[in-house]
Chains A and B, each alone.
Chain A
């Protein structure tokens, strides 16, 4: 049974995937995946070999689905060259000619797209990725981060509506990454649809409005990961609380029906609860009733890493 996901209800659905499967002989790389992506930034996550690259390749039209449909901007993606007018792709790997300068590479792409204002478009794209200084050097001498940025410039030079990026931040240092993230966010605000895959959860957390998690070829989860977390009701939530009197607070909390376990750990209390909402309401009430000052209250497993680990184990 396919897992349906819609990331942006009410927005245009630029990418629609339905029942996508892809197999190689007996190996099923992607198994019955369906999702919709609209404007904004969506992060694509998953362990190695889970099927992320396969999904990206079908979206970019290089791979034919074994079953199901992949539509980008209303048209099937497979072998559809006219789609590339509105689609930009930044693939992993070294797809730049080392003897060209960065500028030449971007300009070449602009011309290949048949842009009438190719030179200005190239200038704009290079400015977006912050490569003005290095644009006249041969790409053979670029560091990995610089190659990434110039590839992004080449992919956005025709201002595509949909942008697909495969591990765009690998090899970039924090400053370069910040710059690229700002650029992508700006594009998203202009109404573009951006999908990027990454192994680094911090990056996805920072940048994406929504995530798609692919595990073992299946779509394990999608949407805002805070929302995903709340849906994981079969897993108890954990909170860390520090107060002026931990022990007394701990025993008072234990009396609450929403609380399933309390542990004293160092200078804090660790609380387990099956009812997220009920607990968040009960905790301050209990503290107030006991006249104990609350100093800190934190959900301990809200990070994307924690959510991801849970999804993988399922």
Chain B
């Protein structure tokens, strides 16, 4: 070696002899990739603006409440964990409507879906990776502000230690309500968006489901608040999330509000969220299984 004046190195094709990490690795890679795509990480600014803006808006009520607590009356709990989603439900729906098409309509439009399906993944894996990504993103947007609220409230109080002792129960409550919301919204968003390759149509369709449902529910309720008809409120996603939030945090609906009128047990809303989430996930998976490539 040291005697040689020079060498020519082989730049020809090299076989790959390293490890091939298989399906689970591929799913993990895709899931993380999709999660980053939800917030436009690794993309130009235009992909980041919308999700980041929505994330900021989602935090605002928490910040407002902390402001009230700090500079005003520490006991005036205008914005509370159990009614937080009433203020931000629309924002979360917007996030869904914008991001779900990015995840699933885009791949159909560009034809990239074929390439994914011809790799070390099953079709259902693709669906689940996307569902994971959108759910986690929504969790960030739901747990985040709640965490700010929780921590902030603790800080303004005179005795933080006793605050923790009294209020620790909120932690699992926050997690549970956030999870239910995320699963339900992610399911709705992805299942609707997966049916069309055009992102604009997907966005509008997802929004339509949320808005029409939320408008229709109270209208049907106003027809009659007796008997079976009042369960019509369950088609309204925003009321459903308020419903189970109140139930989880052990509060009751406002006396003259729509929820009180419907008088549906809170647990039913929670169950519904789970069912809607699971069924829509099933629809989404089935769509991925059947889509032609």
Q: Do A and B contact each other directly (Cβ–Cβ < 8 Å)? A: no
B: residues with CB less than 8 A from A are none
A: residues with CB less than 8 A from B are none
